[in-house]
């Protein structure tokens, strides 16, 4: 039986262009209203606040030249996402908004000092009554959970490697897989039906895929995976 009750997972919430910014409370609210589970990103500020944001820096979404890990939350509070009224949410605000109505797939971005964010996250989730999973590209983050909080379901995110390194792709995946022992894998769309996909199917590990941004891709992959991380424009 799949870990994922709802096969459709809204990527960074149900965002739409610049009108409904990615990883905003508005995007998350729209996902809740449409009963889609969500995948969203978290990172940490210089003063130890867990925030919901994808990039390392603020340039793309806020037009500000600053790195998330180098500024305080009081600085982030003043930033606007794509010049809308939406701001960068605290992780706590997402939990308060969702209240267990949908499942959360929490992607932990690469960051310094592994352990601090993770402990803080675990503490916050200990009071949360909804369903959630954590995932990451970073093998060391997942290994921390494997050793310290193994009851929390964790997923390994994996993407295609540059063409010149293709012959090492499966070896790299296997190294990360056996180090982290994930409960599920999140594979880039281009890896579906690859030897990595075949390996995961043989291991009976749940597979989700990303990021599906067309109906053609959705129809191609829907029957082959346990969850589809999609962009809102395909529905």
Residue range 10-55, pLDDT digits in tens: 999 999 999 999 999 999 999 999 999 999 999 999 999 999 999 9
Both tokens of 13, joined, read 């919430």
**Helix axis angle, 116-125 to 139-148, nearest 10°:** 50
Report pTM.
0.97
Q: For the residues 96-108, what does the mean pLDDT come to?
A: 98
| Residue 232 pLDDT greater than 90, yes or no | no
pLDDT band with cut points at 50, 70 and 90 for residue 198: very high
pLDDT digits (tens, 9 = 90+) for 103-150: 999 999 999 999 999 999 999 999 999 999 999 999 999 999 999 999
Superfamily of domain 8-56+88-234, CATH level 4: Phosphatidylinositol (PI) phosphodiesterase (3.20.20.190)
**pLDDT band at 233; cut points 50, 70, 90:** confident
- H/E stretch holding 139 reads helix 139-148
For residue 45, the model assigns a pLDDT of 98
| pLDDT confidence of residue 234 | 80
Please report the pLDDT score of residue 1 as a whole number: 82
Q: What is the Cα–Cα distance from 141 to 122, expressed in whole angstroms?
A: 13
Domain spans, the chain: 8-56+88-234
Average pLDDT over residues 198-219: 97
Identify the pLDDT of residue 95.
98
Average pLDDT, the chain: 97
Q: Please say if the pLDDT value at position 189 is more than 90.
A: yes
For CA atoms 188, 192, 196, 202, give the dihedral sign. Answer: positive
Residue-wise pLDDT for 146-162, tens only, equals 999 999 999 999 999 99
pLDDT at 110: 97
What would the mean pLDDT of 191-215 be, rounded to a whole number? 97
The contacts of residue 97 (CB under 8 Å, 6+ apart) are 25, 28, 29, 32
Residue bearing tokens 């594979």: 187
Average the pLDDT over 59-64 and give the result: 98
């Amino acid at each position: 039986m799949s870990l994922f009750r709802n096969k459709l997972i809204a990527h960074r919430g149900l965002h739409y262009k610049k009108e409904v910014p990615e990883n905003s409370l508005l995007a998350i609210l729209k996902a809740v209203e449409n009963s889609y589970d969500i995948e969203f990103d978290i990172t940490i500020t210089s003063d130890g606040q867990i925030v919901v944001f994808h990039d390392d820096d603020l340039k793309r979404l806020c037009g500000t030249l600053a790195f998330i890990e180098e500024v305080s939350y009081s600085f982030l509070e003043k930033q606007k996402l794509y010049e809308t009224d939406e701001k960068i949410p605290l992780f706590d605000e997402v939990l308060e908004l969702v209240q267990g109505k949908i499942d959360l797939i929490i992607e932990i971005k690469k960051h310094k000092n592994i352990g601090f964010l993770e402990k803080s996250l675990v503490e916050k989730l200990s009071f949360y009554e909804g369903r959630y999973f954590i995932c990451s590209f970073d093998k060391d983050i997942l290994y921390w959970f494997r050793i310290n909080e193994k009851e929390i379901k964790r997923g390994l995110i994996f993407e295609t490697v540059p063409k010149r390194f293709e012959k090492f792709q499966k070896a790299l995946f296997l190294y990360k897989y056996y180090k982290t022992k994930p409960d599920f894998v999140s594979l880039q769309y281009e890896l579906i039906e690859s030897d990595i996909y075949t390996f995961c199917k043989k291991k009976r590990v749940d597979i989700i895929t990303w990021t599906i941004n067309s109906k053609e891709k959705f129809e191609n992959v829907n029957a082959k995976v346990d969850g589809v991380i999609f962009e809102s424009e395909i529905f």
